[in-house]
Chain A
């Protein structure tokens, strides 16, 4: 069965802290994504990666960075957390091509509160 695992379900951090959100997939997918989900705004793409060490900015990359050193792991980094980064963060992965046409598989999410 397909699995995307996010390391924490809930996280509370202080303003100015460096925060790492981790995501691991076990499907050998090339693509991995980080989204932010806020009420009334839907899913907004922060960053994505289409290969190891490769990354591209999404629609709202400001204040975030990412790291992909291994194919199965994609990390989202908040260099200096701010209160407006309090949100639900969702990780997803997909194959580049093939019969499943880039279906995205999501993790359960990490709810981050920045105080």
Chain B
């Protein structure tokens, strides 16, 4: 079953913040976040493993709450280059297969 992402779409002005959520009905071992720009391949952003850790990469960070079976991606002081569709991929355990959500379209305007 696909994880549920929210919101489906968000429009920001440059410099604003955004949060994208990813929830699963199944117990999670890992959560992956990817970004896909229009016409390009999805690109890996970060991975979080069970343990409730938070990771950061430049002004993009993420948290993973295994009890709630959800992850959140935080984009701070957004830049035009952040525009794209963000996907979370969830893994149930040692199985390397990921199940992706439907994506969140993020548009950053000047």
Query: What residues on A are CB-neighbors of B2 within 8 Å?
Result: 42, 44
**Quick check: A103 and B97 within 8 Å, CB to CB?**
no
Majority secondary structure of chain B interface residues (helix, strand, loop or mixed): strand
A12 interface residue per 8 A CB criterion: no
Q: Which residues of B contact A (CB under 8 A)?
A: 2, 30, 32, 34, 40-44, 47, 49, 87, 89, 91, 96-103
Interface centre among B97, B102, B103 (most CB of A within 10 A): B97
**Quick check: B44 and A102 within 8 Å, CB to CB?**
no
A24 interface residue per 8 A CB criterion: no
Give 29 CB contacts A-B under 8 Å: A31-B96, A40-B102, A42-B2, A42-B87, A42-B103, A43-B42, A43-B89, A43-B103, A44-B100, A45-B97, A48-B97, A56-B97, A58-B97, A90-B41, A90-B42, A97-B96, A101-B30, A101-B47, A102-B98, A103-B32, A103-B44, A104-B42, A104-B98, A105-B44, A106-B34, A106-B41, A106-B43, A108-B40, A109-B41
